[in-house]
Amino acid sequence: MQKVMDEKSTLQLLNVVDQDVSYIIFRSKGTVTVDLETQNNTITIKLDVTNEQDNAIKQHVYKLTLEPHHDTIDIQINGKSTSIDHVTGI
């Protein structure tokens, strides 16, 4: 997984080919909490960042197991839907 990760991207999605698994890689300063909601065909991942005064950027990796009917992933950072910088299949 490290080989295909883009170290400059803030938010990445790595899809595992032939499996219903994806990895979300989020790089940020501060403390990150995560919450997950599903509604119909959409998975909403809520990433909340606090204590951003720490200058060190940390990498957070989350494994996401998808159901066949899920076709939309909405990632929200501090309540705002955010575009994914980099999407890769592995």
| More reliable by pLDDT, 68 or 31 | 31
As given in the structure block, the two tokens for residue 52 are 């951003």
Domain range list for the chain: 2-89
What mean pLDDT is reported for the chain?
87
Q: Residue 8: pLDDT band by 50, 70, 90 thresholds?
A: confident
For the cut 90, the answer to whether the pLDDT of residue 81 exceeds it is: yes
| SS3 assignment, position 3 | helix
For the cut 80, the answer to whether the pLDDT of residue 74 exceeds it is: yes
Is residue 79 within a helix (H) or strand (E), and if so which, with residue range? Answer: none
Which of 88, 69, 85, 68 shows the shortest CA–CA distance to 77? Answer: 85
Residues forming a β-bridge with 19: none
